[in-house]
Structure 1
């Protein structure tokens, strides 16, 4: 059988964040009959630098489409400027009559889209309607895109983010110190400041044997200042952005994972934490409530409700039996999302779309 040639467009594989992580997992675990080439359409830096990166990406894209046999174009899209960059890429693929698989990740796509002029919305809708496949991370996002961009439900594919599950998880019984862990961009959208305030509200006796660890880039200095103002400087640790190896070490030692976001797609960090058999405290935004179910594999709190967040933390710190039960169930629930299963599903999607070529 000939290899299926897939051209993947998305952010730099060296970039921080969930999109690049998903791209790397897809490439690493692609089946033998799938050959994936990646084109970097975005990288961190100045506006001028990002413009140069995208310009080079378009040139490479045009060259490959005109000189190579490409069966499917797989485009990863977020929010903000990514929407326009990827719309341009779609139009180029359409010109060459190539089937397009759009893969949405944007936690705040709906925010960006709602602010656009009506004519721009109509243009984007027309572009996305022409994509042969449109991957969304959850049922709630499927409903959003079908209703707001008038996509055909048959064109929309629900494919939750995959995760690389560890083969073994630690025994977390009889821990003398409890570690609460946050992984993500430090800032308002991820609820980082709410988390620090909620931690400050814990009873004194609990804080004596509990520590809060935050891993991720973003507004670290602002968060550190908040922690210091609440007399938490010695109890809250900021690691900055960490590698996947360091992340695994962190989750190995953790007891509870917390992500009190205001907007999300389907955070890879939650999937990774559940894979490590950790109970999750999160908010019912984006695709999260389709994965995290209160009192089954975690606890859900209202975004911005610091009291609820404190109470959820207090409960899991105090109740080891509940903590271990929720974590064990979380691991079982996330096993179907192992990247090996996702690779098989994605290969099927590629083959079905290649029929349009």
Structure 2
């Protein structure tokens, strides 16, 4: 259960990226997969009645496959909110039928709000606490599962992000840094154009400093701050340096990574953003907020730069640092690509995921 929209469909987001990368890897050669798509059809999401209808359809489809196909295990990708509750109920139903339930949560909302949200604690108690295993994107997720949900380390294996695919690593390997000293620094944002992603702080950093004369900014994606961002750009005469690309399909997205120097994502909250891993694989310098699992990946001054969330001045200073020392583009970009190759390449993660699944299947078959 995950993000498996139709090919060439206009559905985007982190789980779509993750699931697509999985299907394009050797993973589908190792198992017979029964795919159920749970992608959101729009952002903002449709009204409650429409969402309920989609949820009921997914639930009956899940039950149908569970009874007739008799899977050996279920692997469920989930975010927070009502989707977490829905998928948790599916996982519990699988367990009633004797099928092991592996939950793979993502995003930063649950990690950030668990302690202060009764709803999040309630949803987690139903959806996650009874899972056979929680697959964790990183150490922070593992700590959360152990400390807050009561799991053992054995049942919270870490399977890192796997979106450092060969096509992005190839871009990183072929990157030419020779002309970086005599041109504008090209900054790229990829993701939901939501306020929570720090979009308005990025634009504010450009307005109140001189760095706008030395950079160009490309915003890839759409979201709840899209119109506000466009109005801000027009109002502050930034149209010559800021471009809005909307969502890009694979080839155009790869070109955007290839043509950029710096990846900028100052989110207020995150788990481990897929776009950041793609950018690192492509040899871009990640300038990202120190939230979620990001600090376990990006070491400030070594393979990227960390900024504070909700702080446009922090963004401005990071970009100024790169403009004052352009050798950082090559130094940090190469280190970022190397880190992505060693830790987030698709086949490395597929090997870890395969090992976990086979252990669960073999253990279940002996009971």
The two structures have a TM-score, normalised by structure 2, of 0.89
1:5 maps to what in 2? none
* Per-residue deviation, 1:348: 0.8
Alignment match of 1:18 (pick from 14, 38, 42): 14
Structure 1 residue runs without a partner (length 5+): 1-8
1:2-151 → structure 2 map (5 Å cutoff): 9-13=1-5, 14=9, 15-29=11-25, 30=27, 32-44=29-41, 45-111=46-112, 113-114=114-115, 116-117=117-118, 121=121, 124-125=124-125, 127-151=127-151
- Listed one character per residue, the Cα deviations across residues 118-156 of structure 1 (whole Å, up to 9, x for unaligned) are 8x8367436523322211211112112222222222211
CA contact (8 A) 2:91 2:127 kept: yes
Richer in strand (by share): 1
2:188 maps to what in 1? 181
C-alpha spacing 1:253/1:122, structure 2 compared with 1 (3 Å):
closer
Determine the C-alpha separation between the residues in 1 that align with 2:300 and 2:124.
37
Determine the C-alpha separation between the residues in 2 that align with 1:75 and 1:291.
25
| Other structure's SS at 1:180 match | strand
Determine the C-alpha separation between the residues in 1 that align with 2:117 and 2:310.
27
CA contact (8 A) 2:4 2:20 kept: no
Alignment match of 1:242 (pick from 243, 248, 257): 248
Alignment match of 2:312 (pick from 306, 317, 334): 306
| Other structure's SS at 2:193 match | coil
| Other structure's SS at 1:136 match | coil
CA contact (8 A) 1:80 1:112 kept: no
| Other structure's SS at 1:332 match | helix
* Per-residue deviation, 1:43: 2.8
1:170 maps to what in 2? 175
In the TM superposition, structure 1's runs of 4+ consecutive aligned residues that sit over 6 Å from their partners are: none
2:222 maps to what in 1? 217
CA contact (8 A) 2:109 2:270 kept: yes
* Per-residue deviation, 1:339: 0.6
Determine the C-alpha separation between the residues in 2 that align with 1:106 and 1:51.
22
CA contact (8 A) 2:267 2:309 kept: yes
Determine the C-alpha separation between the residues in 2 that align with 1:147 and 1:65.
32
* Per-residue deviation, 1:289: 0.5
C-alpha spacing 1:127/1:232, structure 2 compared with 1 (3 Å):
closer
* Per-residue deviation, 1:331: 0.4
CA contact (8 A) 1:129 1:152 kept: no
C-alpha spacing 1:127/1:46, structure 2 compared with 1 (3 Å):
closer
The two structures have a TM-score, normalised by structure 1, of 0.91
C-alpha spacing 1:228/1:146, structure 2 compared with 1 (3 Å):
same
For these two proteins, the number of residue pairs brought into alignment is 346
C-alpha spacing 1:313/1:116, structure 2 compared with 1 (3 Å):
closer
- Listed one character per residue, the Cα deviations across residues 166-217 of structure 1 (whole Å, up to 9, x for unaligned) are 32432032142321111111122111110111122332xx433421111111
- 2:212 is equivalent to residue 207 of structure 1: yes
Determine the C-alpha separation between the residues in 2 that align with 1:123 and 1:255.
41
Structure 2 residue runs without a partner (length 5+): none
Larger mean CA deviation between 121-130 and 139-148 belongs to 121-130
2:232 maps to what in 1? 226
Determine the C-alpha separation between the residues in 1 that align with 2:38 and 2:212.
45
| Other structure's SS at 1:39 match | coil
